[in-house]
């Protein structure tokens, strides 16, 4: 085997390995989930100041509440001079937190943040069944933090959590608590951090590592959501949950392209069938008209011959007083025959009759019919989430109802007419998120796209949005004025949303 042959073989094997390798989780979704992951630092207050004791990880289940492991905050519950501090992954702010609920058996704890700090809560998946699925563990392993920190001050600065990838190996039961066994590396300090799926949705809470020795592999444990959700309900917390599948925008767009191509191919085939049916109908009608015209021309000719012959006899009889009555009758017959010939000749079908008969006799779907109009008109509208066309990472409403007006108002909110649809951009206070909504009455589509931004980018979008007052519903030139105002916010958005929800709408 020559060197070039061996080299080509190596490249071929490498390409095959890359093609067959499992797809990694979407890093963009993991980055979004990271916004709600926190470091939980345990400090002791001493006469000389705060002293670092230990730390773990946690994640937001509401804007002001964080889940972690009970063993992370155990000293806080046991000692008056020990406190928990929540440090978000973004920014340089941090906040003390109090214990709301703790369960040693489940090794779960719920903290409540004091102060102004807000966090974007993570979404929990309720129907995860492990089958060698890829997962991501997120948190703050102590081996990294302590190696890169010189003091407790370094541990209360916002830093992105460490993400490690692995697969779920199975399920285990420890003291009646349901656990996932997985291989996404964690270490001391990861305790309380989330185990998430490809869309960044929580599957469980990391809490333990097997002790390995003599070259044995390490395995890691996470408390399942079926333990976490009852724990949160007992604390009167209603987290965001979903049971919907995780799909990438790329997959959805490929499916949309394939469907469009299929529809276009079907339309082309239908157009060919319509053209063939129309051609066959035209040929039939032309044959029918030609035969009918020839027959009527023959009848007209016969009537003319009859009129001429009878006319000759009528003229002869009219010259004789004795036969004049007969001549008058024959003359009348000749006139009627001539008139009939003229009428038959005039009534014979022509080219215009061909077109009318083709149009009347063509199959129903070849006539070009009239449009049925828009999918919904002004008035009450109800929209249903299309799961097959939506990219869902959160916990959206399955239905949406609103009042629509022809002036482009969704309820009392004015929309801008842009690119064939009505659009509006929103920058709400919660979740550090920008939301766009578009409404297309013609197709019956209501589309919502959510951009989950880093806090600094969200703040820019928020400030830009709050710099103007949108026009009220139905105001003069409201759509055009809104377009001028909100274009500055649209310009700040990334190329792709994190979530795309497509609803099919009809009038109620």
Per-residue pLDDT of 193-219, as tens digits, reads: 999 998 899 999 999 887 655 545 678
Contacts of 93 (CB under 8 A, 6+ apart): 117, 158
Q: What is the dihedral of CA 154, 160, 166, 167, to 10 degrees?
A: 120
- Evaluate if residue 368 carries a pLDDT over 50: yes
**Count of beta carbons in the 10 Å neighbourhood of residue 328:** 13
- Evaluate if residue 270 carries a pLDDT over 60: yes
What SS3 string covers 154-211?
Answer: HHHCCCCCEEEEEEEEEEEEECCEEEEEECCCCCCCCCCCEEECCCCCEEEEEEEECC
Maximum distance among all Cα pairs of the chain, rounded to whole angstroms: 155
Strand ranges across the sheet with 445-452: 413-414, 409-410, 399-405, 379-385, 499-507, 445-452, 433-440, 421-426, 416-418
| Contact of 128 with 225, CB cutoff 8 Å | yes
- Evaluate if residue 152 carries a pLDDT over 80: no
| Burial (CB count within 10 angstroms: exposed 0-12, middle 13-18, buried 19+), residue 307 | buried
Rounded CA separation 85/161 (Å): 16
CA angle 175, 222, 124 (to 5 degrees): 115
In the block, which residue shows the tokens 């989780």?
25
Pairing between β-strand 123-125 and β-strand 240-242 as defined by DSSP bridges: parallel
CA angle 186, 127, 162 (to 5 degrees): 20
Residue 500's pLDDT band, with cuts at 50, 70 and 90, is: very high
- Evaluate if residue 315 carries a pLDDT over 60: yes
Tokens encoding 484: 């001028």
Please write the tens of the pLDDT for every residue from 37-95: 999 999 999 888 888 899 999 999 999 999 999 999 999 999 999 999 999 998 778 99
The alpha carbon of residue 106 and the mean position of all alpha carbons in its chain are separated, in whole angstroms, by: 37
| Contact of 93 with 119, CB cutoff 8 Å | no
In this prediction, residues 231-260 reach a mean pLDDT of 87
Residue 237's pLDDT band, with cuts at 50, 70 and 90, is: very high
Rounded CA separation 39/189 (Å): 8
User: DSSP H helical segments within 21-135, as ranges?
Assistant: 27-34, 74-78
Tokens encoding 406: 């022809």
- Evaluate if residue 231 carries a pLDDT over 80: yes
- Evaluate if residue 340 carries a pLDDT over 60: yes
What per-residue confidence (pLDDT) applies to 248? 80
The answer for 406, left when phi > 0, alpha when psi is -120 to 50, beta otherwise, is alpha
Concatenating the DSSP letter of every residue in 327-394 gives HHHHHHHHHHHHHHHHHHHHHS--HHHHHHHHHHHS-GGGS-------S--SEEEEEEE-TTT-B-SS
In this prediction, residues 463-488 reach a mean pLDDT of 93
CA angle 446, 447, 448 (to 5 degrees): 125
Residue 183's pLDDT band, with cuts at 50, 70 and 90, is: very high
Rounded CA separation 70/108 (Å): 5
Residue with more model confidence, 263 or 65 = 65
Tokens encoding 118: 């807000």
| 242: three-class secondary structure by DSSP | strand
Picking from 380, 398, 376, 388, the residue whose alpha carbon sits closest to that of residue 505 is 376
| 228: three-class secondary structure by DSSP | helix
- Evaluate if residue 441 carries a pLDDT over 70: yes
| Contact of 117 with 86, CB cutoff 8 Å | yes
- Average pLDDT score over the chain: 85
The residues pairing with 37 across neighbouring beta strands, listed in sequence order, are 59
Rounded to 5 degrees, what are φ and ψ at 244?
A: -90, 150
The residues pairing with 436 across neighbouring beta strands, listed in sequence order, are 425, 449
The residues pairing with 500 across neighbouring beta strands, listed in sequence order, are 391, 449
| 189: three-class secondary structure by DSSP | coil
């Amino acid at each position: 085997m020559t060197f070039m042959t061996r080299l080509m073989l190596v490249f071929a094997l490498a390409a095959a390995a890359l093609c067959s390798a499992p797809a990694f989780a979407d890093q963009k979704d993991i980055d979004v989930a990271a916004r709600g992951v926190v470091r939980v630092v345990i400090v002791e207050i001493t006469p000389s100041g705060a002293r670092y004791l230990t730390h773990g990880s946690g994640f937001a289940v509401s804007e002001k509440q964080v889940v972690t492991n009970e063993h992370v905050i155990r000293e806080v519950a046991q000692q008056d001079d020990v406190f928990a501090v929540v440090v978000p992954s973004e920014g340089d702010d941090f906040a003390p937190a109090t214990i709301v609920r703790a369960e040693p058996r489940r090794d779960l704890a719920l903290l409540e943040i004091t102060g102004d700090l807000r966090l974007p809560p993570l979404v929990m998946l309720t129907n995860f069944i492990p089958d060698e699925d890829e997962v991501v563990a997120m948190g703050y392993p102590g081996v990294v933090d302590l190696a890169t920190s010189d003091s407790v001050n370094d541990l209360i600065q916002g830093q992105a959590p460490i993400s490690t990838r692995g697969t779920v190996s199975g399920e285990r039961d420890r003291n009646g608590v349901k656990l996932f066994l997985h291989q996404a590396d964690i270490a001391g300090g990861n305790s309380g951090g989330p185990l998430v799926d490809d869309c960044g949705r929580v599957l469980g809470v990391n809490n333990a590592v097997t002790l390995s020795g003599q070259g044995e592999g390490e395995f890691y444990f996470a408390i399942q959501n079926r333990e976490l959700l009852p724990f949160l309900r007992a604390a009167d917390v209603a987290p965001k949950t979903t049971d919907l599948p995780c799909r990438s925008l790329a997959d959805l767009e490929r499916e949309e392209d394939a469907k469009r191509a299929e529809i276009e191919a079907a339309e082309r085939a239908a157009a060919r069938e319509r053209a063939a049916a129309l051609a066959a109908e035209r040929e039939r009608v032309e044959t029918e008209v030609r035969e009918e015209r020839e027959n009527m021309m023959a009848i007209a000719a016969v009537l003319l011959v009859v009129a001429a012959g009878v006319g000759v006899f009528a003229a002869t009889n009219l010259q004789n007083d004795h036969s004049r009555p007969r001549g008058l009758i024959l003359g009348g017959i000749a006139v009627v025959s001539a008139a009939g010939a003229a009428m038959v000749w005039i009534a014979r079908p022509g080219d215009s009759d061909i077109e009318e008969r083709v149009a009347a006799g063509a199959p129903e779907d070849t006539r070009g019919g009239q449009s049925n109009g828009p999918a919904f008109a002004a008035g009450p509208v109800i929209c249903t989430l299309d799961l097959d066309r939506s990219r869902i990472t959160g916990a959206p409403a399955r239905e949406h109802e609103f009042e629509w007006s022809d002036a482009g108002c969704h309820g009392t909110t004015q929309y801008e007419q842009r690119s064939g649809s009505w659009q509006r951009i929103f920058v709400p206070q919660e979740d550090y998120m920008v939301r766009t909504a578009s409404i297309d009455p013609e197709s019956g589509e209501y589309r919502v796209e959510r951009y989950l931004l880093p806090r600094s980018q969200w703040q820019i979008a928020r400030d830009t949005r709050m710099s103007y007052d949108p026009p009220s519903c139905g105001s003069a030139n409201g759509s055009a004025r809104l377009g001028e105002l909100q274009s500055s916010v649209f310009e700040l958005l990334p190329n792709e949303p994190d979530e795309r929800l497509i609803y099919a709408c009809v009038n109620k």
